[in-house]
Structure 1
Amino acid sequence: MDFRGSEQTAHTTGPRSADALPASAAAAVKVVIVGGFGAGKTTLVGAVSEIRPLTTEETMTQAGVGIDDLSGIHAKSSTTVAMDFGRISINEELVLYLFGTPGQERFWFLWRGLFEGALGAVVMVDTRRLQVSFDVIGRLEERGVPFIVAVNTFPDAPQYPVEELRLALDLPEQVPIVLCDARQRASSRDVLLTLMRYLQSLATTQEAS
């Protein structure tokens, strides 16, 4: 798979020619990036997108005090209020669209539209706040959306063996768990490749049954 990158130009306004969808593109698939508040969804989309990502980040205000759980992430000053959007060209004909969801529970009503037509999902996990992932995973399981788990390795986050994380998150053995640094393009790319391989294995199993 060829993930093509593009350099971002500071102070660029309006659409860039580099952001235009290739004329050869014949098919597109949709992947959703979900996770708790501050888990790294916006960072991952921005790191791996070949176009200048669309973000809806706003500065956090007093309106969120007592509503948004900031335990473990007190330094966070902005938050996604609608979605993040990015794009990756897998090859000349196939395009992968990335949609990052807002993490706060008060914005989860937006998830229904974002999940329509999604091929699968990546659940971003922060081990400093593992409990916020439970409801996220539960909602995916209720919807029947296939997903993998990406553990974002924050510098000050505790590290646990993968099997301990699987047990804590109550995940089936077949669901992949990968470690990643959402700031790094190569690491974020590997997360998406893991999801694509997992979806391919599910499709192969269904065809064989």
Structure 2
Amino acid sequence: MGSVPASEPAAAGVHLPPGVHTAVKLLVVGHFAVGKTTFVGALSEIRPLRTEEVMTQAGALVDDLAGLTDKTTTTVALDFGRLTLNDRLVLYLFGTPGQQRFAPLWHDMTRGALGALVLADIRRLGLSFEVMGVLEELGLPYAVALNQFDDAPAHGLDEVREALDLLPETPLVRCDARDRVSSTRALIRLVEYLLTLPRPGSRPDGDVPTGHLEHL
């Protein structure tokens, strides 16, 4: 999957509407070449920040390119984008590099994050275990979105949930990282799930303190 450039209206939408008062930091994570850069690029209303580098022969020795004939670049730091969900809530999206050698960067990027969306590839489902393991170790709640690659085999969500050994409450959805509507729905499902979870310092009514959300 190639990166999707920001549309002209999105690129022009630099300023936030005056009514927005809640900002949420979310991570978009997943293994190498699962579509994180494409996902952030398809959603961002501003020109996304990308730190992609051309892959070299040396990188091929450590990055598994089996079945990835179109993969020529890789994220080496982060992808960053912004999505205003409504007139009060804006999401800041941080896409992480997928290779294990960048794991220390993950730990820094989780600071201030409310949760993560794990992108998964049904063709390489086993690679998602390490990603989910890191999030669980860090105590960061997550949802899983199956990125629909054109040549991916068809499996029901119940089968995938069992294969990934997900908890019943962990959201599992399908999405196409190239499609803005599909990707937005996946993020909304994550946010809905996060709002059901108690947070440290939350008020008795269950709301997350605004200060926690805004200190990104």
Which TM bucket (shorter chain)? 0.7 to 0.9
Any conservation in 1 of the 2:25–2:114 contact (CA below 8 Å)?
yes
Please give the secondary structure, in 1, of the residue aligned with 2:68: coil
What are the ranges of 5 or more consecutive residues in structure 1 without an aligned counterpart?
1-5, 10-15
SS at match of 1:128: helix
Pairing of 1:20-169 with structure 2 (within 5 A): 20-169=15-164
Instruction: Check conservation: 1:72, 1:129, Cα contact below 8 A.
Output: no
Contact 2:28 2:119 in 1 (8 A): yes
Residue 7 (structure 1) aligns with: 7
Q: Which residue of 2 aligns with 1:12?
A: none
Structure 2 residue 175 is the aligned partner of structure 1 residue 199: no
Distance in 1 (alpha carbons) for counterparts of 2:108 and 2:20: 24
- The Cα offsets for residues 158-188 of structure 1, whole Å up to 9 and x where unpaired, read as 1211121112111111111101111000000
Aligned to 2:170: 175
AA in 2 matched with 1:188 = S
Segment drifting more, 126-135 vs 70-79:
70-79
User: What is the CA RMSD across the aligned residues, in angstroms?
Assistant: 2.2
Measured after TM superposition, the shift of residue 119 of structure 1 is 0.6
Quick one: which amino acid aligns to residue 158 of structure 1? P
CA contact (8 A) 1:71 1:129 kept: no
The size of the alignment, in residue pairs, is 197
Deviates more, 1:131-140 or 1:86-95: 86-95
TM-score (structure 2 length as normaliser):
0.84
| Matched letter for residue 149 of structure 2 | F
Q: Bigger CA drift: 114-123 or 85-94?
A: 85-94
Displacement after TM superposition at 1:24 (Å): 4.4
2:35/2:177 contact within 8 Å kept: yes
* Match of residue 3 from structure 1: none
Separation (CA, whole Å) in 1 of partners of 2:89 and 2:171: 24
Scaled by the length of structure 1, the TM-score of the pair is 0.87
CA distance in 2, matches of 1:47, 1:142: 29
Q: Percent of counterpart pairs with the same letter?
A: 53
CA deviation vs aligned residue, 1:129-181 (integer Å, no higher than 9, x gap):
11211100011111111100000010011121112111211111111110111
